Amino acid sequence: MADFIVVRALENGVSVIGLTRGQETRFAHSEKLDEGEVWISQFTEYTSAIKIRGRAEILTAHGKVVSGKDADEKS
């Protein structure tokens, strides 16, 4: 079973962008989240990376990360 991530937007306009595998990395899908919205995503044979732009909380099997301008603050 592939890994999942959970992205919770901490501000309006957070971008979640899925990137493909293969000889060339390409944008596969993008989504805009508003504050409080949650996006659950799975890595697949086609999706090898996920880029997140904006302030968001990201939960993975490896722990929690906060992205964005104030990401250095401990949560």
Domains and CATH numbers, the chain: 4-67 (2.60.40.50)
Average pLDDT over the chain reads: 87
Prediction pTM value? 0.80
The confidence score (pLDDT) of residue 53 equals: 95
> Which residue, among 4, 23, 2, 13, has the nearest Cα to 52 in the 3D structure?
13
Beta bridge partners of 6: 40, 59
Confidence band of 67 (pLDDT split at 50, 70, 90):
very high
